[in-house]
Amino acid sequence: MKRVYNFSAGPATLPEEVLKKASEAILEYDNLGFSLIEMSHRSKPYDKINEEAEADMKKIMGLGDDYQVLFMGGGASLQFSMVPMNFLKEGMTADYINTGVWAGKAVIEAKKEGNINVIASSEDRKFCYIPKDIKCTEGAAFLHYTTNNTIYGTEYQFIPDVKVPLVADMSSDMLSRKMDFSKYSLIYAGAQKNLGPAGATIIVIKKSFLETAKDEKELPVMLSYKAHAAKKSIYNTPPVFPIFTVGLVLKWILAQGGLEEIEKANIKKSDYLYKYLDENTDFYSPTVDKDSRSRMNVTFRIVNHDLEPKFIEEAKEKGLVGMKGHRSTGGLRTSIYNAFPYEGVVKLVEFMEEFKKNNK
Ligand SMILES: *Cc1c(COP(=O)(O)O)cnc(C)c1O
């Protein structure tokens, strides 16, 4: 197989060696004479997969025993409901920041569960920037925000400095850079952007915050963090294969040198692309304010919008696929997550230059 450069926003490019190991495990796991996907989740080999994935996650994030990692199904979208269901109690208010489609969906689901306050938003300028002035409601249950806005291509360059528990949807930039993760009470991410295949959701929760969650008796049990935590992510049958593959991605991150090296590589890729865009604004126009740009999802337009379908078509012929912007925004979006190779960005810029010359 000749692999194309896949700029898809999610599910997205994974390391080739991970794909290879994952496919081998589907045929036979660890010389046991059967497949990983035929194996009980209440078995020694699966215990090991689950435990190692939790330990590697914490190691990469620099977190200790005061945090627990949970693996669940339901995607990041289920977390939009679970977070307020578990932590937004009667009479309390939770704060939200609205920075685009996913952040907005989290707001919509939270409103169904209780009182919320949208304390900042970038809707006034079509979500092309990150709001910097963040003041929480006195005594808020938590502040929820989205670290990277996959669709609009904006990303927080700072951690909001607030006194209330911090909850973040990191679906599209989880483990893409060094961060002080100990500032967070709860982090969640659907795996399919940066960490593995769809089907696994990762939740990293501070144990002292978990203590304050509603009791599992007050909630549908599958929606209770406490229930999942007490059973170490095997309350019911978890998505075994996606979680195993996330585990392989974590080992790959460690082998790269952890977040230090991953971040360097991500800076190199995104800087290269943004530099080209900034030098060619006669033809291309980046859509996000400079101080809010995402290293994961680079969004831009061609000044003459009519050329965009042609751009996508011709790029595809060159093995550069998945650059169509989200259906809600149009334009172009190149997603260059951890596993996306630098050479692919170089190829893209070559193509962009050629396309510009031919269509000026
Ligand atoms: C993709 C995405 C989601 C939705 O994830 P699902 O796993 O499909 O529910 C939520 N938040 C962000 C930031 C995303 O990029």
Domain locations in the chain as residue ranges: 16-256, 258-358
Give, for ligand 1, the residue of 71, 81, 102, 299 to mutate: max count of ligand atoms closer than 8 Å to Cβ: 102
Report residue 214's pLDDT band, with 50, 70 and 90 as the boundaries: very high
Asked whether the predicted pLDDT for residue 225 surpasses 90, the reply is yes
Report residue 106's pLDDT band, with 50, 70 and 90 as the boundaries: very high
Residues with CB under 6 A from ligand 1: 10, 75-77, 102, 146, 150, 169, 171-172, 190, 193
**Mean pLDDT calculated for residue range 198-209:** 98
What's the confidence (pLDDT) of residue 49?
Answer: 98
Q: In which residue are the tokens 């893409």 written?
A: 176
| Mean pLDDT rounded to a whole number for the chain | 97
Bond preceding residue 11 cis, omega within 30 of 0: yes
CA nearest ligand 1 atom 7, residue = 75
Give, for ligand 1, the residue of 72, 105, 172, 329 to mutate: max count of ligand atoms closer than 8 Å to Cβ: 172
Calpha distance 337→81 (Å, rounded): 26
CATH number, domain 16-256: 3.40.640.10
**Mean pLDDT calculated for residue range 50-70:** 98
Calpha distance 323→199 (Å, rounded): 23
**Residues recorded for the chain:** 360
What's the confidence (pLDDT) of residue 100?
Answer: 97
Asked whether the predicted pLDDT for residue 328 surpasses 90, the reply is no
C-alpha 71 to ligand 1 mean position (Å): 15
Give, for ligand 1, the residue of 8, 71, 77 to mutate: max count of ligand atoms closer than 8 Å to Cβ: 77
**Mean pLDDT calculated for residue range 190-213:** 98
**Mean pLDDT calculated for residue range 345-352:** 98
Give, for ligand 1, the residue of 105, 109, 171 to mutate: max count of ligand atoms closer than 8 Å to Cβ: 171
What's the confidence (pLDDT) of residue 1?
Answer: 84
C-alpha 33 to ligand 1 mean position (Å): 36
Asked whether the predicted pLDDT for residue 84 surpasses 90, the reply is yes
The maximal CA–CA distance of the chain, rounded, in angstroms, is: 65
C-alpha 76 to ligand 1 mean position (Å): 5
CA nearest ligand 1 atom 14, residue = 171
CA nearest ligand 1 atom 1, residue = 171
* Cross-strand pairs, 148: 155
Calpha distance 337→265 (Å, rounded): 10
Residues carrying an active site annotation:
102, 169, 193
Asked if 16-256 and 258-358 have one fold, the answer is no
Q: Which numbered atom of ligand 1 lies nearest the CA of 77?
A: 9
C-alpha 134 to ligand 1 mean position (Å): 23
C-alpha 78 to ligand 1 mean position (Å): 9
Asked whether the predicted pLDDT for residue 344 surpasses 90, the reply is yes
What's the confidence (pLDDT) of residue 127?
Answer: 97
Q: Which numbered atom of ligand 1 lies nearest the CA of 80?
A: 10
Q: Indicate whether this model's pTM tops 0.85.
A: yes
CA nearest ligand 1 atom 2, residue = 171
Q: Where are the beta strands (DSSP E) in the chain?
A: 5-6, 67-72, 93-98, 115-121, 143-146, 148-149, 154-155, 166-169, 186-190, 201-206, 284-286, 297-302, 320-321, 332-335
C-alpha 189 to ligand 1 mean position (Å): 7
Which one is the CATH code of 258-358: 3.90.1150.10, 2.30.42.10, 3.40.50.880, 2.60.120.380?
3.90.1150.10
C-alpha 104 to ligand 1 mean position (Å): 12
Helix 240-256 vs helix 258-279: angle between axes, to the nearest 10 degrees?
80
What's the confidence (pLDDT) of residue 21?
Answer: 98
For the sheet containing 284-286, what is the strand order?
A: 284-286, 297-302, 332-335
**Mean pLDDT calculated for residue range 168-176:** 98
Asked whether the predicted pLDDT for residue 40 surpasses 90, the reply is yes
**Mean pLDDT calculated for residue range 273-289:** 97
Q: Which numbered atom of ligand 1 lies nearest the CA of 146?
A: 13
Asked whether the predicted pLDDT for residue 52 surpasses 90, the reply is yes
